[in-house]
Structure 1
Amino acid sequence: MQGFHIPAAPPLYTNTFLLISDAGHAVVIDPAAEVHSYDEILKQHNATLTTILCTHGHYDHVGSAAALKAEWNAALYCEKADLAGDRMYPLSAADCGYTEGEQIAVDELRFTAWHTPGHTPGSVVLLCGEHLFCGDTLFAGSIGRTDLEGGSSAQMADSLRKLAQLPIPRETQVLPGHGEFSTFGAELDDNYYIRSALRGGNDIF
């Protein structure tokens, strides 16, 4: 497997990722960068984009999803709850949503999905090997906003409690939708919002 971190344009600098399997099949996670940013890497590595995984449907995470799907005929995953087709949630359709705990396989790549509503109703996190793609559920030392349309502080607290109890090794890399990377163990130990949720708080702000 080869992995690439492709930050989207300022001012949001959304973290997006491109993974290429040993057989040359590619997965884009949160396609927010320009289409050519992905196409150039795919061409360089003679890879074919087969799968697009959206951790949630906000505009700053799905900007290239429709164009990439059309160009490559790739399968697009996004939860139905985040398919409003409006300014905040621009996607109106996807091929698939996520089943709790399901594995999405692309050759040797295995993505396990868990629902983590709070930032949006359809937020998920995706574990692939030693990499946890968190979208805007979990940041290094923080969490995503819950005061936007569809957000819920109480749901976020529930999601953080669930996330903390999942069988994820402490050394797993936390790859959030914005900001710096971390490890799962560091977030369990030092993230104020996770610690507050584990103490039973439902209003984590």
Structure 2
Amino acid sequence: MENFIYLIHDHATNRAAVVDPAWDVPAIIAAAEAQDVQITDVLLTHSHIDHINGLTELLKVYDAQIHLLKSEAQFWGKYLDLPTLHHGGDVVKVGKTEIDIWHTPGHTPGSACFHLAGNVLTGDTLFVFGCGRCDLKGGNPEEMFNTLKHIGTALSADTIIHPGHNYAQNPTSTIAEQLVGNPFMHFDRVNDFVDYRMNIHDKIRDIPYEAVRR
């Protein structure tokens, strides 16, 4: 499914966090060993199976803390007793690296983005020239509209996005490029956005996504 799985490496302590462990856990472990880091944390952007299906296997190897939004744990129906459940606006520290947690609903009720040092890991909220589906259980296109508006205005233009799937010609992009070329960032009225997301987009666009001018 062309997932991206990320390692966030705190160079001061050699601790690391895995974002959305899925599919190929031996490759995740090999990447950590190659960088000589200890995985101490797991950050989940959301709870869909294609983003968490390696979690149990990973936790057999590493005694890592799981971090996700409380609203996503409630939607998922799992991990409701974690001491590391969060709300939007919380900060996770991996060693000395601070990671801001943003609540970005739309794809699921408790979807999260992780912002640090000029980068934002967007899961299935924002893709390069695309955005996540809103027709699955828990999806809400009106919330996605508001989420993308917030991302587009709250982050600096040079912020680099790192999406949850490789759906475009380039694996990363900037907020500036998305404001210009991502059709989901072009709408000013929520009703127009909802119609495009739910009824039009999948009929007229194919992967890999390219820029769409206004």
Contact kept, 8 Å, 1:157 with 1:202, in 2: the verdict is no
Map 1:6-155 onto structure 2 (within 5 A): 12-22=1-11, 23-83=13-73, 92-93=78-79, 95=82, 96-155=84-143
Query: Equivalent pairs: percent with the same residue?
Result: 28
- How many residue pairs end up in the alignment? 187
Contact kept, 8 Å, 1:153 with 1:203, in 2: the verdict is no
Contact kept, 8 Å, 1:188 with 1:195, in 2: the verdict is yes
Distance in 2 separating the partners of 1:163 and 1:84: 24
Distance in 2 separating the partners of 1:202 and 1:115: 22
Contact kept, 8 Å, 1:17 with 1:29, in 2: the verdict is yes
Deviates more, 1:98-107 or 1:147-156: 98-107
Larger Rg: 2
Distance in 2 separating the partners of 1:162 and 1:130: 16
Corresponding letter in the other structure for 1:44 = A
Distance in 1 separating the partners of 2:90 and 2:177: 26
How much does 1:43 deviate? Answer: 2.2
How much does 1:62 deviate? Answer: 0.8
Distance in 1 separating the partners of 2:176 and 2:189: 20
Instruction: Choose which of 166, 169, 177 in structure 1 pairs with 2:164.
Output: 177
How much does 1:39 deviate? Answer: 1.4
Relative distance call for 1:81 and 1:100 in structure 2 (3 A) is closer
Q: Secondary structure at the match of 1:114?
A: strand
**Which aligned runs of 4 or more in structure 1 are off by greater than 4 angstroms?**
none
How much does 1:113 deviate? Answer: 1.1
Normalized per residue, which structure has more helix?
2
The RMSD of aligned alpha carbons is: 1.9
Distance in 1 separating the partners of 2:161 and 2:172: 6
How much does 1:203 deviate? Answer: 4.9
User: Is there any run of 5+ residues in structure 1 with no aligned partner, and where?
Assistant: 1-11
